[in-house]
Structure 1
Amino acid sequence: MSKRALMSVTNKDGIVDFAKGLVELGFEIVSTGGTMKVLETAGVKCIAIDDVTGFPEMLDGRVKTLHPKVHGGLLFRRDLPEHVETVKKYGIQPIDLVCVNLYEFEKALKEGKPMADMIENIDIGGPSMIRSAAKNFKDVLIVTDPRDYQNVLDAIKDQKDDYDFRLNLAYKAFSLTGSYDAMISRYFAGVVGDEFPEILNMSYKKVEHLRYGENSQQAANKYEDSFVQKSLLDYEQLHGKEISFNNVNDLYGAVAVVREFKDQIVTAAIKHSTPCGVAIGNTGYDSYMKAYEADPQSIFGGIVAVNYKIDKATAEQMHKIFLEIVAAPDYDDDALEILKKKKNLRILKLKNLDAREAKYDIKYLEGKVLVQKLNTEMIKEMNVVTKAQPTPEQLSDMEFGMKVVKYVKSNAICIVKDGVTLAIGGGQTSRVWALENAIHNNPDKDFKGAVLASDAFFPFSDCAEVAYKAGIGAIIQPGGSIRDQESIDFCDEHDIPMVFSGYRHFRH
């Protein structure tokens, strides 16, 4: 008896050549509607699925393969006599290979289809056949990826379709159905408005091998969330060596800062996932030079992200120092030519600086997962709590400072003036230490009239006192301490305007 292959695919790339190859290897082809038309048009003889089941395809194609003559032919164990007798009794023929890929639910999601169309793009028969075949992988080859077609033909021809080969195909098949169901689950979670479902189904697709993890002894890869169609970290690498784990993590910090400045020209320099120089400018060149001069020491070996097209003059300045990554929405041709002179510099073209589709911030902690909403808010209110009122320029710098300090490791302090960071202190166990470090590490800076932004409230008045001694002219902080009045009183005594923003921005 000839072996049988059942083919029912949405993605028809390569299916004709695969079917012809199977016929040459002694298979007869059973197929469904659209796939059968393609195969027969190409001269491949097929058996219609309704000739196997004895029932016509019905309900607009919703029911065609959901039948014992199909699933019995897939699931019976060839090594169990009682199974063999059962299928003989009911006239069920073995199916030895299944080639299936699924309705394009993800494509419909990307296209923003209405719910009625999304539901029609939920495949039922396909996942059922895949799961039946994969469960019985010892006896049935399950093929779900067009990239495997030639490998499968070669394995059958060379009699290398052994247990391990079949097991790997089954593993791939269950990964596909798991990812497919996760996407559907998340779609319905969005429809019903369940932000934190009882069961959070998430699926990730490997998109890039990384040079290494946080340290060279740690292997690492980058995965993407299939449900998020537009990511802040979508980029095209134009030049340079392979990206590492730390590069991607730092890059996120840089482009996230840049995204906060939608209507302003901005440059963000990041070192070890913390901003070291951020500046608004009248031009890209102006912005970059201000960011560089904010901390010319820390930017060395760092990452620079911008929200403007990099020109030749800016590229020439970037070329003068060692940078790990330059990331921008676009580059002038002569700018690219200059930057590419550095063999290892990773040059990235950002695709979605306005992306806001991702909803979750996730930390995986050895079997436990912390899930929170992304911190997309900035300032709840600008509540002036002192007698002294901030000037318009100080208010502008307060907003600028909060946009930067939001991305500094807590406890975090950012001192800014005229849209440029003067000093940044972060990652300290005491808030006043963060402030003192910021001032101490920048002895050449003039802080007179600058604005101090803090990611969380002042538990004591010590930060206000240190700020005053350094000449800082205004303060913005979330407020909320039971001892807020101490800081307010000190600022009133020394004529320092202070604003409570209402939102804390811890970053751990």
Structure 2
Amino acid sequence: MADIKAQYRTVMADHFPSEVKINVGGQELVYKKRTWKLMDGGEMIEKGLRYGENPGQEAALYELVGGGLTVGDLQLVAPGMGLVSAIDEAQMLQAGKHPGKTNLTDVDGALHILRYLTDRPACAIMKHNNPSGAAVADDISTAYEKAFLADLIAAFGGAAVLNRPVDKTTAEMMHELYLEVVAAPAYEEGALEILKKAKNLRILAMPRIAELAQWRDQRFLDIKCLMDGGMVLQTSSFNPIKTPADLLPARCEHNGEMVEPLRQPTPAELDDVVFGWAVEQGVSSNSVIYVKDGCTVGIGTGEQDRVGVARIAAQKAYVKYANKLCWLAHGLKYDELALAVAEGREDPAKIKAIDEATQADKGGLPGSIMISDAFFPFRDGVDVGLAEGVSCIAHPGGSLRDWESIEACNQADPPVAMVFTGQRAFKH
């Protein structure tokens, strides 16, 4: 067992070059490998990434430092705009140990969401490059608490990224949870002392997060490498939905007649659609998510069929809601309370009350917004959300059977609103 554990502590040597150049049709991009001098295992080591996605995988982080690339009329991100790739020792207020690939790609994934939510305090907690919870609020501590309570199980060992300075209240809540990474533009007086009690926590101060709005519409070169050594180049995705005015009415023609929703969304529902569509940009596809009051309720990721992921997201909402109720009432996760009941250390009435409240509240899903990263090819996925009491559904539109999905919303009691985003948001 000691040897198995040791692999996670090992700092791998990497044999990647200090500089990489990519020539794309005569346009050259120049990348510099990022390394840090950090205490690791009791000694000072200069090294880049600890390892890749798994121990045993050599990896290196590169920052774009020279050149530029124009694809058609699209100017991709230029040097000098580094975020995660530009982190230096001064920004690592506490390194704990050299970061691995997933630590930094989790931070990058959160920033991919937060760049669309700069108008309000927001937090995204990432786990394995997907958000476990994301939320906006009037203050950063509430945004963090909402994101944490959205899925306090998956948040364990995650990366919490915030778009406002961390205050003492937020730091105290973070200290109750084991996190791998905390990243924010700054830390208010007293917050760092609290966070540093967790010796292995990587604490990043990234001042440019305060300027994240300038990255909102920036596109970058997205490279997918294939098993045979080949690769696919594409420009990165973008999110055109900035305000409710950018959404499209859900309508389509069927049998010579226009099919439209009987009910239009409220301003509050539209705000949640804009929020949810921003979160969708950072969720692996196929995905369906449920959001409510500026917070994720259930997140379904990476499934092969849309009705299946709609069900998974709803099922997860029930589980996460039960955990939330249990934590708020007893300071325990649901499974911890269930074990204590089974061992006779807690009153069975406590777990029964949590179960009954979760079912009565339907996992917090009634009144939520159902958001799909691609159109619903059949109404079955829509019907899953309707059965849970969603009040509005948003998806790209464009299916030959959009009329079925709209009719399903009209047949609900009361009728459910629907809007189109006009754009798919696949992320693979």
In 1, distance between residues paired with 2:263 and 2:142? 32
The aligned amino acid for 2:279 is V
Is structure 2 residue 200 aligned with structure 1 residue 348? no
Q: Deviations over 1:202-224 (max 9, x none)?
A: 32211121111111011112111
Q: Secondary structure at the match of 1:485?
A: helix
Specify the alignment match of 1:429 in structure 2.
304
The aligned amino acid for 1:438 is A
Q: How many angstroms does 1:199 deviate by?
A: 4.2
Deviates more, 1:367-376 or 1:408-417: 367-376
In 2, distance between residues paired with 1:222 and 1:198? 24
In 2, distance between residues paired with 1:220 and 1:275? 23
Shift in CA distance, 224/358, structure 1 to aligned 2, threshold 3 Å:
farther
Q: How many angstroms does 1:376 deviate by?
A: 2.2
Specify the alignment match of 1:377 in structure 2.
239
Q: How many angstroms does 1:225 deviate by?
A: 1.4
Is structure 2 residue 97 aligned with structure 1 residue 241? yes
In 2, distance between residues paired with 1:358 and 1:437? 32
Specify the alignment match of 2:291 in structure 1.
416
In 2, distance between residues paired with 1:199 and 1:503? 32
Specify the alignment match of 2:401 in structure 1.
483
In 1, distance between residues paired with 2:145 and 2:239? 29
Which of 126, 129, 134 is the matching residue for 1:270?
126
The aligned amino acid for 1:329 is P
Which of 316, 320, 329 is the matching residue for 2:172?
316
Is structure 2 residue 64 aligned with structure 1 residue 225? yes
Structure 2, unmatched stretches of 5+, are 1-16, 36-47, 67-78, 252-260, 319-357
Give RMSD over aligned pairs.
1.9
In 2, distance between residues paired with 1:296 and 1:352? 28
Shift in CA distance, 458/255, structure 1 to aligned 2, threshold 3 Å:
same
In 1, distance between residues paired with 2:26 and 2:402? 41
**Do the aligned partners of 2:219 and 2:235 also contact (CA within 8 Å) in 1?**
no
In 2, distance between residues paired with 1:225 and 1:369? 19
Q: Deviations over 1:8-54 (max 9, x none)?
A: xxxxxxxxxxxxxxxxxxxxxxxxxxxxxxxxxxxxxxxxxxxxxxx
Is structure 2 residue 220 aligned with structure 1 residue 359? yes
Q: Deviations over 1:437-486 (max 9, x none)?
A: 11112223221111011100000000111111111111000001111111
**Do the aligned partners of 1:214 and 1:245 also contact (CA within 8 Å) in 2?**
yes
**Do the aligned partners of 1:362 and 1:371 also contact (CA within 8 Å) in 2?**
yes
Is structure 2 residue 25 aligned with structure 1 residue 198? yes
Specify the alignment match of 2:6 in structure 1.
none
Superposition pairs for residues 160-175 of structure 1, below 5 Å?
A: none
Q: Secondary structure at the match of 1:221?
A: coil
Q: TM-score, normalised by structure 1?
A: 0.60
**Do the aligned partners of 1:383 and 1:499 also contact (CA within 8 Å) in 2?**
yes
The aligned amino acid for 1:452 is M
Q: How many angstroms does 1:358 deviate by?
A: 5.2
In 2, distance between residues paired with 1:260 and 1:225? 23
**Do the aligned partners of 1:267 and 1:288 also contact (CA within 8 Å) in 2?**
yes
Between the two structures, name the one with larger relative contact order (CA 8 Å, sep ≥ 6).
2
Superposition pairs for residues 422-501 of structure 1, below 5 Å?
A: 422-443=297-318, 444=358, 445-494=363-412, 495-501=415-421
Q: Secondary structure at the match of 2:152?
A: coil
Is structure 2 residue 230 aligned with structure 1 residue 368? yes
Q: Secondary structure at the match of 1:399?
A: helix
Q: Deviations over 1:135-162 (max 9, x none)?
A: xxxxxxxxxxxxxxxxxxxxxxxxxxxx
**Do the aligned partners of 2:219 and 2:237 also contact (CA within 8 Å) in 1?**
no
Q: How many angstroms does 1:303 deviate by?
A: 0.6
Q: How many angstroms does 1:369 deviate by?
A: 2.4
**Do the aligned partners of 2:33 and 2:62 also contact (CA within 8 Å) in 1?**
yes
Specify the alignment match of 1:151 in structure 2.
none
Is structure 2 residue 50 aligned with structure 1 residue 211? yes
Specify the alignment match of 2:344 in structure 1.
none
**Do the aligned partners of 2:317 and 2:365 also contact (CA within 8 Å) in 1?**
no
**Do the aligned partners of 2:277 and 2:371 also contact (CA within 8 Å) in 1?**
yes
**Do the aligned partners of 1:455 and 1:505 also contact (CA within 8 Å) in 2?**
yes
Q: Which has the larger radius of gyration?
A: 1
**Do the aligned partners of 1:231 and 1:358 also contact (CA within 8 Å) in 2?**
no
